[in-house]
Amino acid sequence: MATFLVGALVAAAFFFAVRHVYRNFRDGKEDCCGNCSGCHGCSAKR
């Protein structure tokens, strides 16, 4: 049971991490690094 729970947790975290990386690559954006005005990566969120 513990293996199943921890495994599910790791699998879910892995899925979301890969999805985040894929979306960044697809949209050509970088995680915010503070240089907002030189970067159009997250302008849609603002």
Compute the least distance from the CB of residue 22 to other proteins, in Å: 10
Residues ≥6 apart with Cβ < 8 Å to 43: 36
Residues ≥6 apart with Cβ < 8 Å to 32: 39, 41, 42
Q: CA–CA separation, 14 vs 44, rounded Å? A: 25
Compute the least distance from the CB of residue 7 to other proteins, in Å: 6
User: In the stretch 17-46, what mask flags binding to other proteins with x, by CB under 8 A?
Assistant: xx-xx--xx--x-xxxxxxxxxxxx-x--x
Binding site for other proteins (CB under 8 A): 1-3, 6-7, 10, 13-14, 16-18, 20-21, 24-25, 28, 30-41, 43, 46
